[in-house]
Amino acid sequence: MRALSFRPALTLRGRTFKGLRGWAGKPLHPPLTDVPVGAYILVAAFDVLSFLFKDELWARDLYRAGTFTMVGGAVVSVFAALTGLWDWLKSTKKGTQARRTANAHAWTMLTVTGLVLVDIVMRWFLYEYVRYTPPRVLIVTLAAAGLTFIGGTLGGSLAYDYGFNVETSGDHPVWHESEVDVFPGDGHPA
Q: Give pLDDT, residue 185.
A: 60
CB 133 within 8 A of CB 66: yes
Of 155, 152, 119, 145, the residue nearest 39 (C-alpha): 145
Name beta bridge partners: 23: 17, 26
Residue 12's pLDDT is 67
Find, among 184, 147, 141, the residue nearest to 49 by Cα: 141
Q: What is the pLDDT of residue 131?
A: 94
Residues across the chain? 190
Q: What confidence score (pLDDT) does residue 126 get?
A: 92
145 contact partners, CB below 8 Å, separation of at least 6: 40, 41, 43, 44
pTM: predicted TM-score of the whole model, two decimal places: 0.80
- pLDDT score recorded for residue 78: 94
Residue pair 118/140 in contact (Cβ under 8 Å)? The answer is yes
Q: Is the CB of residue 52 less than 8 Å from the CB of residue 106?
A: no
pLDDT of the residue at 19: 67
- pLDDT mean by block of 10 residues, the chain; 190 residues: 62 69 74 94 97 94 96 96 86 83 94 97 92 96 97 89 66 52 57
Q: Tell me how far apart the alpha carbons of residues 121 and 74 are, in angstroms, rounded to a whole number.
A: 12
22/42 Cα distance (integer angstroms)? 27
Distance CA 164, CA 116 (A): 27
